[in-house]
């Protein structure tokens, strides 16, 4: 799915109105109906005594008024509270007129805000994508009042005060919603950690926005769901053999961290690689051969760290980093790997300590072969770049980093973001907080290595499929283990089922 800017969302509205030959108030009615149906469905499980709708002067307020009418006609006890304004949008005015007189509708007055009965709910329809500046004055007071009440808030399109695709100044008032319900496509604001307490859980409802407009809209951000990827993983041909799927080399582990190599190796095998060779320090030999008999062990002469780069000529892709440690000899291995992989156009994946080494030896960043895939968590990313002021800034750093180094970079977390050399960002939709557990990232590296070794996949598809399947495997595992009980090995067990759903 594409993520449109606030401006493009308005243009999509207009394109839909023209192409479908409908009036703008008819499109508003669609949006309001979708929201009302969602809310009624939601409330049937959590009975509410009263619904209080707080409506602003624009189309977000117009949506709120249409929802108020629909809920009233469905038998709900509804109260409308209007934010006074000098001007109102035409569709606000139409829906104000359509509001049945039986619905109490009152203008908000400073310091005389309504006290809400227990078990009532709030619908926040003050401001949506048309927010043009931070809230102040009466609007800010209303937001503070809503946030201080114990009542659950359901936001239409955006929690009021939050910009759809830009940061607001620190401490500017924003509604804290339990749920945010948007239309057709997700907004960038939904996906950022800094907005988690404001947006709450979210979903988007289809309202038939013009497909052609969306198809042609140039965007920098995508939201990757099942539909986006399904069919992108090639099936394994009948007469395929292990050579078809590539031979991967994994350099991982150090004394005390051979487990990281084991996890990445298992994930790589479950990711469908044809052959896997693992380079660990000598201390890892018996552990690896015992824990992962399917992998070949190519042990380093040194006991505790990797100190020598093996010959690379048989491999289709190389992954380096999980549990690697940061011994000076390992830096030289990384330096040689970057150089030789560049010469041989060998796909590379860099994770964990390989990234930390890049952070302390920044000159190596200029040696990254084109299309290298890096998988930092935010702290590792900071070591490669700089400290971000906020989540939007971090995403711009990611875009710039990928452009500058012609690389793919996976910024891990909830809604993991993949940056591409073109400066595009792809946000992943799968995964759960149970995956915040040691070794989850090693599993991702192994899986990505398998997909990069498969020559049938582009670098972009390999990365997107790997990130999505990793999160989905975590979700499948959590159904059995619960989130707290989830460990990285559980993710590995579900890689197969997660990939199967994506096959062509
Ligand atoms: N395609 C879709 O997704 C569809 C979207 N739809 C709905 O439309 C919504 C967008 O509506 P919208 O464009 O009218 O903007 P909205 O958010 O109501 O605010 C604009 C008003 O607020 C005012 N204002 C702004 N900032 C302010 C501030 N800080 N403090 C005070 N005032 C401020 C601004 O005035 P001005 O900036 O001109 O001074 C103007 O009066 C969208 O979120 C969704 O709910 C559906 O109906 C149909 C399909
Ligand atoms: N709250 C979350 N929601 C979704 N995915 C998560 C969440 N927390 C962690 N993950 C995923 O788990 C993995 C953790 O990686 P990382 O931090 O490198 O762990 P480790 O270093 O322990 O292996 C990443 O792929 C990340 O996207
Ligand atoms: K709103």
Rounded mean pLDDT, 291-298: 98
Ligand 2, atom nearest to 433 Cα: 1
List the Cα angle 430/180/169 in 5-degree steps.
Answer: 100
- Report pLDDT digits (tens) over 370-386: 999 999 999 999 999 99
The predicted-structure confidence for 73-109, as pLDDT tens digits, reads as follows: 999 999 999 999 999 999 999 999 999 999 999 999 9
The DSSP output letter for 49 is S
Ligand approaching nearest to the C-alpha of 427: 2
Q: Which domains does the chain have, with CATH numbers?
A: 6-219 (3.40.50.10260), 229-500 (3.40.1190.20)
pLDDT at 46: 66
Question: Strand, helix or coil at 436?
Answer: coil
Give the SS3 label for residue 267.
Answer: helix
Q: What is the pLDDT of residues 357-416, one digit of tens each?
A: 999 999 999 999 999 999 999 999 999 999 999 999 999 999 999 999 999 999 999 999
Ligand located closest to 214 CA? 1
* Binding region for (6S)-NADPHX: 59-63, 128-134, 157, 260, 323, 377, 442
- Give the model's confidence band at 116: pLDDT under 50 very low, under 70 low, under 90 confident, else very high: confident
Atom of ligand 2 nearest to the CA of 263: 23
Q: Above 80 in pLDDT, residue 45?
A: no
**Would you list which residues are annotated within the binding site?**
59-63, 124, 128-134, 157, 160, 260, 323, 377, 412-416, 441-442
Query: Which atom belonging to ligand 2 lies closest to the Cα atom of 467?
Result: 25
pLDDT at 141 over 80: yes
| 308 vs 294: CA distance, rounded Å | 23
CA–centroid distance, residue 142 to ligand 1 (Å): 17
**Ligand 1 pocket, residues with Cβ under 6 angstroms:** 9, 12-13, 27-28, 31, 56-63, 89, 127-135, 139, 156-157, 183, 209
Q: Is 441 in the pocket of ligand 2 (CB under 6 A)?
A: yes
432-464 residue pLDDT tens: 999 999 999 999 999 999 999 999 999 999 999
Mean pLDDT of 29-53: 90
Q: Under 8 Å CB-to-CB from 488, ≥6 apart: which residues?
A: 263, 437, 438, 439, 440, 442, 443
Q: Does 48 score more than 90 pLDDT?
A: no
Q: Is 193 in the pocket of ligand 2 (CB under 6 A)?
A: no
pLDDT band at 497 (very low <50, low <70, confident <90, very high): very high
Contact at 8 Å (CB) between 62 and 97?
no
Residue 284 and residue 261 in contact, taking contact as beta carbons nearer than 8 Å: yes
């Amino acid at each position: 799915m594409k993520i449109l800017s606030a401006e493009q969302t308005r243009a999509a509205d207009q394109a839909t109105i023209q192409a479908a030959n409908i009036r703008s108030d008819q499109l508003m009615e669609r949006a309001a109906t979708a929201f009302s149906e969602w809310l009624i469905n939601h409330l049937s499980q959590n009975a509410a005594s009263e619904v209080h709708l707080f409506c602003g002067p624009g189309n977000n307020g117009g949506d709120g008024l249409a929802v108020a009418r629909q809920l009233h006609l469905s038998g709900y006890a509804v109260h409308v509270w209007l934010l006074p304004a000098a001007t109102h949008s035409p569709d606000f005015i139409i829906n104000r007129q359509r509001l049945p007189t039986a619905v109490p509708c009152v203008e908000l007055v400073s310091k005389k805000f309504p006290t809400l009965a227990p078990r009532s709910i709030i619908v926040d329809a003050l401001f949506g994508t048309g927010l043009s500046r931070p809230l102040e004055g009466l609007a800010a007071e209303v937001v503070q009042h809503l946030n201080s009440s114990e009542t659950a808030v359901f936001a239409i399109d955006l929690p009021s005060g939050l910009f759809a695709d830009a940061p607001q100044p620190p401490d500017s008032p924003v509604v804290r919603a339990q749920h945010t319900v948007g239309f057709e496509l997700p907004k960038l604001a939904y996906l950022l950690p800094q907005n988690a307490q404001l947006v709450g859980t979210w979903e988007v409802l289809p309202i038939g926005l013009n497909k052609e407009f969306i198809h042609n809209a140039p965007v920098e951000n995508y939201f990757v769901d099942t539909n986006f990827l399904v069919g992108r993983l090639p099936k394994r041909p009948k007469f395929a053999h292990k050579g078809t799927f590539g031979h991967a080399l994994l350099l991982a582990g150090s004394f005390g961290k051979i487990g990281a190599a084991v996890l990445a190796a298992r994930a790589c095998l479950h990711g469908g690689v044809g052959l896997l060779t693992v380079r660990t320090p000598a201390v890892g030999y018996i552990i690896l051969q015992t824990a992962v008999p399917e992998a070949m062990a190519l042990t380093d002469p040194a006991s505790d760290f990797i100190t020598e780069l093996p010959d690379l000529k048989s491999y289709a892709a190389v992954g380096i980093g999980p549990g690697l440690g940061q011994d000076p000899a390992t830096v030289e291995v990384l330096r040689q790997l970057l150089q030789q992989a560049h010469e041989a156009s060998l796909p590379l994946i860099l994770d964990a300590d390989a990234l930390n080494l890049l952070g302390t030896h920044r000159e190596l960043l200029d040696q990254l072969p084109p299309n290298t895939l890096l998988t930092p968590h935010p702290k590792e990313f900071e070591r490669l770049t700089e400290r971000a002021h906020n989540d939007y800034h971090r995403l711009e750093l990611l875009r710039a980093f990928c452009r500058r180094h012609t690389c793919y970079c996976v910024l891990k977390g909830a809604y993991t973001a993949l940056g591409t050399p073109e400066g595009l960002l792809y946000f992943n939709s799968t995964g759960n907080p149970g995956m915040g557990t040691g070794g989850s990232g090693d599993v991702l590296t192994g899986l990505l290595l398998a997909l990069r070794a498969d020559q049938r996949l582009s670098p972009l598809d390999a990365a997107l499929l790997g990130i999505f399947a990793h999160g989905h495997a975590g979700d499948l595992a959590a159904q059995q283990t619960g989130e707290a009980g989830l460990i990285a090995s559980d993710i590995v067990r579900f890689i197969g089922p997660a990939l199967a759903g994506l096959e062509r």
